[in-house]
Structures are given as C-alpha cells and as structure tokens.
Amino acid sequence: MPQSIRTRVAIVGAGPAGLILSHLLAEEGIESVVIDRRTRAEIESTIRAGILEQGTVELLTRIDPGTRVQTVGERHDGIELRFQGEGHRIDFQALVGRSVWLYPQHEVLTDLLALRAGAGQDLRFGVTASGIDDTDPDQPRVIATDSQGDNVVIDADFVVGADGSRSVMRSAVAGASGNGVFREYPFAWFGILCDAPPSSDELIYSNSDDGFALISQRSPQVQRMYFQCDPGMDAQAPSEAEIWATLQARVPGTSLKRGPVFQRDVLSFRSFVAGELRRGRLALVGDAAHTVPPTGAKGMNLAVADVVLLARALHALLREDDSRLIDTYSERALRRIWKAQHFSWWMTGMLHTPPRGDDFDRRRQIGELRSVVESEAGRAYLAEAYTGWPLDV
Ligand SMILES: Cc1cc2nc3c(=O)[nH]c(=O)nc-3n(C[C@H](O)[C@H](O)[C@H](O)COP(=O)(O)OP(=O)(O)OC[C@H]3O[C@@H](n4cnc5c(N)ncnc54)[C@H](O)[C@@H]3O)c2cc1C
C-alpha cells in the first residue's frame, strides 16, 4: 500500500518558491505539505542566485525578522556598465530610491528551511513527484516515490508545482508539451567561484570586443565571475591561467584579484514561459512556470512575485470560497513575468557580443549602451527594472 498523506495544499519543490509559499499559507492558517526530491543538505549547498530585489528582501525580512539577509547580505546601491574601456555607474538610489542585496540563494534557503522546520512545517526530503492524478478535479493527488522507492500519494485541495525548470508538474497544468513560448540564445556563461577578495565594490557588467563578462561577488572571501562563452564549451577545458586571462581581457581598467578557482560551470541561456500557469486546482510558480537568462538577475525574484500572488489567491479560495483571484492568477502573474522576460532579454542582447555579428551590430550595440548611460530616463528604466517593480502588481 502506498503511504497516503492528506493536506490542504501539496507543494512540489522546496526551493525559494515552495518554501516561501508554505510560509505565507501558514500565516493564513492553511496547512501544506512540501516535498523535494533532494536532501536538505543538497538544497542548502547548491550555488545559484545571488541578487535579491528590494521587494524580495522586504518580504524575507517581514516573514523572518531573524533572516541574515540584513546582516550577512550586502546592500548594493548601484552597478557599473562598462564598455569601450569606460565604466558608467547606474546609481539605483539616486535614480529610483531603491537597492538590491547580494545574498546567495543557498543562504536564503538555509534561513527558510530553519524557519519552516522550526514552525513545524511538514517537509519531506527525498520524495520525488512523478505526476498528478486529477480524476477528481476538486481533490488532485500527487503521485510520488520516497528515497526507498516506496510509493507516496498526497491528496490535497490544491497542488502547486514549484519544482523548478525541469518541472514534472508542468505537463499536468500546461499539457504534455509544456505548451509555452521558448527562446534559446547563441551563447552561455562560463562561471567560476574562487577564493579571493572582491575586485570592486559593486558588480561590473562589461561589454567588450571579446565578449561579455560579469564581475560579481559572493562574500568578502569568495567571488563569483562569469564570461560569455559558446554553449558547447567544456567547463573543464580551460586552465586557470586561461580563465583569468579571458576574464581580465574583458574588464579593461580593473585589475582582477585572483585566487584558486574551486568551482566552474557552463550555464546555457533560455527564455521560457509555460502556456498555462493554472488549470483547475493545479498551479505553477517560479522556474516551473518560466525561465529567464541570468543577465537581469530576475529568476528567484520572479518566483517570489508569483508566490505572493498565489498565496493571496489560495487564501481567498480555501478560506473564503472565493475563486476570483485564482481565476485571474495566470493573467496577473504573466504581466510581471513578461516585463521580466523583456528586461532579461534586453540586458542580454545589449551586453553580449553576437557570435556572428558584423561591424554594424557592434556599433549599434555601443549606440544602445550610450543611449542608456547618457540618458537619465535610460538609466532610470534599468535601475527600476533591476531593483524590481512593486511586488503585488
Ligand atoms: C547560476 C545561476 C545564477 C542565478 N542568478 C540569479 C540571480 O542573481 N537572481 C535571481 O533572482 N535568480 C537567479 N537565478 C535563478 C534562480 O536560481 C531560480 O530562478 C530559482 O531557483 C527559482 O526558484 P524555484 O523555487 O522556482 O525553483 P528551484 O530553486 O529550482 O527549486 C525547485 C525544487 O524542486 C525540486 N524538485 C524538482 N523536481 C522535483 C520532483 N519531481 N519532485 C520533488 N521535488 C522536485 C528540486 O530539487 C528543487 O529543490 C540564477 C540561476 C542560476 C542557475
């Protein structure tokens, strides 16, 4: 006999989307079960996002006044756009009165897992969902397997797919093909983590004739840097000396502080939005619903924005029997998702060197960068989108 669980909301995925949703539901007295195929230790150690919008930080601070985002995280009031060897600061505070925080996603997850476990959340690790049985559309059922290979079924009033970019929940909501829109890019990022002090106070987004580079950060001792590469590049191929030479050539004017590289990966770029974010009593949030290229630092922030909308809609549905917000969840979430898709696409195109670009493409791109940095309106658009639009619209 499969292990049978009954709850109000079954959440598949204990990433930022699933954990924050479980918290917002608990605040409204709505019980949930969260399952994740990984172990807690694996979730807490996967290196991913680093930049949190102001609205994300305000939400994390409200739900967990003890969050280390304010103590360990670092507020950044601007970024630098660099091209033709010159740096141009985009001053977020002066332009829009907002900031972003550098606080790695695995630290956010460590905080959230401690918060939810401390509150008695039913969290089940090593449990992998394989699909949905929605024979009874009012009582969808998650079909899963635990780490011993035993079957688990979760009966719920609502099921949320917060299971990331390779979502298995997506087909239950949006159809077998995912039925969405998709864009692939002709380049990728070669990313490193290294033991070194920061090379600059703020992030540098550098467009150079040789390709893009991002000089990001992780902590006072560990740095994250990326350079544009071919999507087929082998992450193990270049020597450390070659990696540093490539990075350094792409940020003329800054002498990079070097140290041992202890992680390297190639990150391909995709834009995707599922055709449906909700069907009956099933909904998608976060990367399960959409993917953005990382240039705009939007992925995790967008997951948080979906969850804020969905939590409110589930409160109305499950506590007040009012389906109006759930009926419009897709439409309202998609407004922000497409703004973020546009911003991520725009930053990506403006900063990366097209592999088969000609002289026209290169000169036009410099014209585009100048249109941004030499115009207050251009800088303000970038600052507004990067620091994030208000969370509840
Ligand atoms: C290198 C990199 C840098 C990034 N930088 C930024 C940034 O600076 N700012 C930003 O906002 N975003 C950034 N992102 C994107 C961000 O990391 C994601 O958008 C974010 O993790 C999405 O959260 P999520 O909860 O939707 O999905 P995930 O974090 O992917 O969580 C999904 C969870 O579901 C679990 N799961 C999957 N399938 C199943 C299953 N069948 N059954 C049970 N559990 C399952 C997974 O184990 C996982 O824990 C970056 C991403 C990468 C890769």
Of residues 23, 290, 298, 315, which has the active-site annotation?
A: 298
Distance, C-alpha 162 to centroid of its chain: 12
pLDDT at position 357, please? 87
Mean pLDDT along residues 83-90 = 96
Quick one: pLDDT at residue 103? 95
C-alpha–C-alpha distance, residues 21 and 311, integer Å? 6
| DSSP 3-state of 362 | helix
Model pLDDT, residue 329: 97
178-184: Cβ within 8 A, 24+ apart: 178/272, 178/274, 178/275, 179/274, 179/275, 179/276, 180/272, 180/273, 180/274, 180/275, 181/271, 181/272, 181/273, 181/275, 182/270, 182/271, 182/272, 183/270, 183/271, 183/272, 183/345, 184/268, 184/269, 184/270
Token pair, residue 133, equals: 């049985």
Q: Is the pLDDT assigned to residue 125 strictly greater than 50? A: yes
Cβ of 303 below 6 Å from ligand 1: yes
Question: Could you give the percent of the chain with pLDDT greater than 90?
Answer: 92
Tens of pLDDT along 337-364? 999 999 999 999 999 999 888 999 999 9
Task: Determine if ligand 1 sits within 6 Å of the CB of residue 293.
Answer: no
Interior CA angle at 274 toward 270 and 277, to 5°? 140
Whether residue 186 lies in the annotated active site: no
Whether ligand 1 lies within 6 angstroms of the CB of 105 is answered as: yes
pLDDT confidence bin for 240, thresholds 50/70/90 = very high
Report whether pLDDT(232) > 70: yes
| 53 class by beta-carbon count within 10 Å (0-12 exposed, 13-18 middle, 19+ buried) | buried
Tell me how far apart the alpha carbons of residues 23 and 351 are, in angstroms, rounded to a whole number: 37
Q: Does the pLDDT value for residue 393 go beyond 50? A: no
22's enclosing H/E stretch is helix 16-27
- Ligand 1 mean position to 287 CA, how many Å? 6
In this prediction, residues 20-28 reach a mean pLDDT of 98
- Cα distance between residue 149 and residue 159, in whole Å: 22
Query: In what helix (H) or strand (E) does residue 88 lie, and over which residues does it extend?
Result: strand 86-91
- CA 46 / ligand 1 centre spacing (Å): 9
Active-site position among 185, 226, 329, 386: 386
pLDDT at residue 15 above 50?
yes
Q: What is the residue-wise DSSP string for 274-335?
A: -S-SEETTEEE-GGGTEE--GGG--HHHHHHHHHHHHHHHHHHHHHH---HHHHTHHHHHHH
Our answer to whether residue 103 is catalytic in this structure is no
Q: Which domains, and CATH codes, for the chain?
A: 3-74+101-182+271-353 (3.50.50.60), 185-269+355-384 (3.30.9.10)
- Give, for ligand 1, the residue of 263, 273, 287, 341 to mutate: max count of ligand atoms closer than 8 Å to Cβ: 287
What's the predicted TM-score (pTM) here? 0.96
Nearest protein Cα to ligand 1, atom 27: 164
Distance CA 17, CA 302 (A): 9
Q: Distance (Å, rounded) from C-alpha 81 to C-alpha 373?
A: 8
Tens of pLDDT, residue by residue over 149-206, are: 999 999 999 999 999 999 999 999 988 766 799 999 999 999 999 999 999 999 999 9
> Is there a catalytic annotation at residue 23?
no
**Average per-residue pLDDT in the chain?**
95
Q: Which of 300, 301, 391 most suits a substitution to test ligand 1, by most atoms within 8 Å of the C-beta?
A: 300
Q: Which residue has the CA at smallest separation from atom 30 of ligand 1?
A: 164
Pairing of strands 211-215, 222-229: antiparallel
298 is catalytic: yes
pLDDT at site 175: 80
What is the C-alpha radius of gyration for the chain, rounded to an integer number of angstroms? 21
Backbone angles phi, psi at 328, to 5 degrees: -110, 10
Is the pLDDT at 283 greater than 70, yes or no? yes
Distance in Å, CA 12 to ligand 1 centroid: 12
Pocket test for ligand 1, best of 24, 105, 272, 386 (most atoms within 8 A of CB): 105
Is 16 near ligand 1, meaning CB less than 6 Å away? yes
Q: Is 205 a catalytic residue?
A: yes
- Cβ of residue 286 lying under 6 Å from some atom of ligand 1: yes
Tell me the pLDDT tens digit for each residue of 318-344.
999 999 999 999 999 999 999 999 999
Atom of ligand 1 nearest to the CA of 127: 43
Q: How far apart are CA 229 and CA 85, in angstroms?
A: 20
The answer to whether 290 touches 277, Cβ cutoff 8 Å, is: no
Paired with 133 in beta bridges are 141
What's the confidence (pLDDT) of residue 177? 64
Asked if residue 178 has its Cβ within 6 Å of ligand 1, the reply is no
What whole-number distance in Å separates Cα of residue 393 and Cα of residue 386? 16
